[in-house]
Each structure stands twice: as C-alpha cells, then as structure tokens.
Amino acid sequence: MINFDRNIAKSGFYEVLAGTDEAGRGPLAGPVVAAAVIMPLEGPVIPGINDSKKLTESERERLFDEILKTAVSVAHVTIENDEIDQLNILRASLKAMKAACSELTPSPSIILADGNRTFSCPIPVKTVVKGDAKSYNIAAASIVAKVVRDNFMKDLHDLYPHYNWAQNKGYPTREHIDAIRKYGRCEFHRKTFLVKALGETHHSSLFD
C-alpha cells in the first residue's frame, strides 16, 4: 500500500501526500465523519494498516493509536445528521472530506480521496476507487474516521441504550429498525434515511 502512495508522489514530484476517507454513509443515525492524514512515505510503515472495514474493532483501535503517534498530521471533521438531511449524504461526505483536508499542517501537495467523486479544492485531488484497499494514506484515514465515529456512537448509546448503538453504530440492523418501530426516532436519526428504510406512509408519525 505504501508503494502505491510513493509512486504517485514520485510521478508528480509531490512533496506532501495526504489521504482522505469517510465513515458513516449508510447508517440511519449519527453523523458522517471524514478524516485526512499525512503519513510519512519514508521510514517505518505501520504493520496492519488496511481498509477499516476489513479490520476488527480492536485492530482499528490499536492502529488508530499508532497512526496518531506516527502521522505528520491528522484531522477529522464531523457533519451531524441534520445537515446530512439538508445536503444529502454524498454532499455531506465530500464537504467533510474537504474540510478535514483543509485542517492538515503542512498543506499537502496532493490529496488522494477514496471513491470516484471529488470536491473543489485549490490542491490537486486524485480519486481512487476502493482507495482504502490500495493507498496507505487513504487506509489510515479510513481507520481514523471509523474509530472517531464509532466512539461517538458509543457515547450516544448512553443516552439512548434501547437502539443499541454501541453495537450497531446506527446502521440499519434488524434490531435497530425494530427499536425505531417500538420507541420512535430521536434527534440523532436521519429523517431522509428513515423514510427510505421504514416507509414514509407507515412511519409518518415519526416526523410529527
């Protein structure tokens, strides 16, 4: 993975390369979190860095700590569920990724972004489909975003334990959907997502 990043940096004479990714596009509740990182391209590589979805929770947490210790710069930005409803999840995700990249110090020479959709930026942005499985920096960003978001959902679980967000992280599991049907929605649910997941007619009372 590190060689993927090194080759891009060398091919364009980019001195500082960053990666960015998001977590939380699919859940019914909670924010979307984007992270951006600048990992050293020379020197020791952190073993085990990979697409966050392929790692266990304990592996992600261990790697998260290693990334924070090793990275030149790390930033993450959270966009709450209300803004997701206003913008839509794609625009919210891209906004968060752009904002996270803008907080990096030093400013990168090029940004590798996971996926096939880019965002306006004065810095060159290269999209990489399935980048979290190809790029060292994107994979590191995916881990940071996932751990930050998971910890946020664990904190929300203490407020609303009946949704079991500590386990499902807001994703549309059968247990989560059944809990919404039983208890109704709360202020952390994404209204636009509930309409799709539960049906607008049957669950219109959720939005009263």
Compare 197 and 193 and report the one with higher pLDDT.
Answer: 193
Give the mean model confidence (pLDDT) for residues 26-40: 98
Mean pLDDT over 6-24 rounds to 95
Q: What pLDDT score does 128 carry? A: 97
Q: Is the pLDDT of residue 190 over 50?
A: yes
Cβ-based burial of 135 (10 A; exposed 0-12, middle 13-18, buried ≥19): buried
Res. 66 pLDDT band, cuts 50 70 90: very high
Q: What strands lie across the sheet with 17-23, from one edge to the other?
A: 73-79, 32-38, 17-23, 110-114, 125-128
Q: Does domain 2-151 have CATH number 3.30.420.10?
A: yes
Tell me the pLDDT of the chain averaged across its residues. Answer: 93
pLDDT computed for residue 50 by the predictor: 84
∠ CA 11-93-104, rounded to 5°: 50
Q: Kindly list the domain boundaries of the chain, sorted by start residue.
A: 2-151, 158-202
Two tokens, residue 93 = 């995700």
What value does the mean pLDDT take over residues 86-115?
97
Q: What is the pLDDT of residue 202?
A: 44
Give me the residues paired with residue 37 across strands.
19, 74
